Amino acid sequence: MRKIQFGLLLFLSIISASSCEKDDICVEGDTPLLVIEFYDIDDIETLKEVKTLRVVGVGQNVTVNTVTDRSNLSTISIPLKTDEDATSFILISDSADADDGAEIGNLDTINFSYTRIEDFLSRACGFVVNYDELQANVTADSDNWIQDIEIQQSLVTNSDSTHVKIFH
């Protein structure tokens, strides 16, 4: 009886081990982040940091976790929505809190629209979303710090290069 149990256990172990494939661990990648660089409006070839930048998704109560909050930055990488064809962010220059905790920086809302392309990577990784036909605009207000937006790459398939230039 013990030989049968051992044989059955050995058989099940072999079957179980042989069902694993090399793609059972996902190392191929993720949905890309949108890479934005900030440039000097007076010298459009020169990167220019945004002082104490804060980035918040419209309708969100927390800052975007891919950007160090209230830092001086000339490049950021932010996530676009994977379940909608548009994403909007509030970019705050000179971000600070008033005594009552309210935001007192210069707030500009930037709107991105795109077409989503789902790409099946593997059984382990599932789908990633790439973005095509990227467009951007800033909501006009009486004190925009963002002066111009230029799309460098309308197809977003990786986070290795700049997709958008913002001039301020």
Tens digits of residue pLDDT in 121-153: 888 888 899 999 999 999 999 999 999 999 999
Which residues constitute the domain of residue 42? 22-167
Backbone angles phi, psi at 154, to 5 degrees: -85, -10
Pairwise CA distance, residues 57 & 6, whole Å:
58
Is 17 within the bounds of a domain?
Answer: no
Is 7 within the bounds of a domain?
Answer: no
Is 14 within the bounds of a domain?
Answer: no
Tens digits of residue pLDDT in 41-56: 999 999 999 999 999 9
Is 6 within the bounds of a domain?
Answer: no
Closest by CA to 49, choosing from 150, 145, 134, is 145
Number of domains into which the chain is organized: 1
Is 16 within the bounds of a domain?
Answer: no
Q: How confident is the model at residue 1 (pLDDT cuts 50, 70, 90)?
A: low
User: Averaged over 151-158, what is the pLDDT?
Assistant: 97
In the chain, % of residues over pLDDT 90: 77
Is 113 within the bounds of a domain?
Answer: yes
Is 143 within the bounds of a domain?
Answer: yes
